[in-house]
Homo-oligomer: A and B are copies of this chain.
Amino acid sequence: MGMRITRLGDLARVVGVELCGDPDLEIDGVGTLENARRGQISFLSNAKYRRFLSETQASAVILSATDAAHCSTAKLVSDNPYLTYARVASHLLPEVQQMAGCHPSAVVASTADIHPTAWVGACSVIGERVKVDAGVYIGPGSVVENDCRIGKASRLVAKVTLCRETRIGERCLLHPGTVIGADGFGLANDAGRWEKVPQLGRAILGDDVEIGANTTVDRGALEDTVLENGVKLDNLIQVGHNVQIGAHTAMAAACAIAGSTKIGRYCTIGGLTGLAGHLTIGDNVHFSGASQVTRSFPDPGYYSGNLPAMENNDWRKAIARIRQLDGMAKRFKALEKRIADEKVSKKS
């Protein structure tokens, strides 16, 4: 993708960091330390890549003051080089001309209220009484059911489904295949057979929420499923009915959150993590990938629970021993006791 050629001094000013080097240097793109070419700006935030610093072909590098000493190119010096890089790259992106109106192939209900600066893409279907705010982009092949609302400048990339009554805040970004507001998994059992429990709540997303491809967020059963401002979900995540996710919590791919669990703010949850239903997870809780969360964790901290992969023979032995563990522990206790008793009997 072509980027906007920008002077390095202007970049430093825009993102608010210190410049070391020629402010008139023209930057025309970004690249990794290893593969950047002249004209591009790179960054160093992961120590693993420091070895590429001395030989980078980048014209400028974003890095910490400590690393800056070891870098001979032009520099942007930042306390948070990755954040600075994100802002620099965003600034270099070409402006996209936002379209306005509805593609002729879109099917828009007569009662829908589409702001004149919003866009409804080809083959999208917009239901009754939907309200679409200024600057919204609804990509091709999307379905927005009756009574949804989409806040200012939000973007449904393509093939997004919003089920009836869903609320999307401002500046949200929903990737292809996401389904927001489908029925939760509510079933009552009648002597073995399942009967559907009507799912009457809504799915409500705050502002600045990002939802990954093919992720699903169910509507509430009675009350609402709520994702607060700044929540970021990766791809293929399942969020059950009535779940609440606090502001600025981020979750990596393939997690599954069962119904009615409440997750606090500023949490990070590794991929493939499962949370059982009706739990309470506090603020600033961090789960490693593939953790299985079966109780509440109200306190901040780092928690884990996976069994890391190992050589197959070692794994077989470990599993066999885990199965014997209870018996072994009992035998060990007995042995400890016997030895203690012997000592006592010797003493006496």
| A interface residues with partner B (beta carbon < 8 Å) | 1, 30-32, 35, 48, 80, 82-83, 85-87, 89-90, 93, 103, 105, 107, 121-125, 139-141, 143, 145, 157-159, 161, 163, 165, 173, 175-177, 179, 182-183, 185-190, 192-198, 200, 210, 212-214, 216, 218, 222-223, 230, 232, 234-236, 238, 240, 248, 250, 252-254, 256, 258, 266, 271-272, 274, 276, 278, 287-295, 297, 301-312, 314-326, 328-329, 331-332, 335-336, 338-339
Report Cα–Cα, A122/B109, bound state, in Å.
11
Interfacial chain B residues near A140, Cβ < 8 Å? 107, 125, 143
Report Cα–Cα, A107/B122, bound state, in Å.
7
A321 close to B326 (CB less than 8 A): yes
Given the known interface contacts A143-B159, A188-B86, A213-B179, the answer about A218 and B235 at a Cβ–Cβ threshold of 8 Å is: yes
Known: A289-B292, A318-B322; 7 extra A-B contacts, CB below 8 A, are A85-B197, A86-B186, A139-B143, A143-B158, A187-B250, A293-B309, A304-B309
Given the known interface contacts A139-B143, A214-B216, the answer about A235 and B182 at a Cβ–Cβ threshold of 8 Å is: yes
Interfacial chain B residues near A210, Cβ < 8 Å? 196
Q: How many copies does the complex hold?
A: 3
B308 close to A293 (CB less than 8 A): yes
Interfacial chain B residues near A165, Cβ < 8 Å? 1
Given the known interface contacts A122-B107, A196-B86, A308-B319, the answer about A271 and B272 at a Cβ–Cβ threshold of 8 Å is: no
Distance (whole angstroms) from the CB of A17 to the closest CB of chain B:
13
Distance (whole angstroms) from the CB of A257 to the closest CB of chain B:
9
B190 close to A83 (CB less than 8 A): yes
Interfacial chain B residues near A338, Cβ < 8 Å? 339
A sample of 14 cross-chain residue pairs with beta-carbon separation below 8 angstroms, ordered by A number, consists of A1-B165, A89-B197, A107-B122, A107-B140, A175-B179, A177-B179, A185-B234, A238-B271, A254-B256, A276-B289, A293-B309, A308-B319, A318-B323, A320-B326
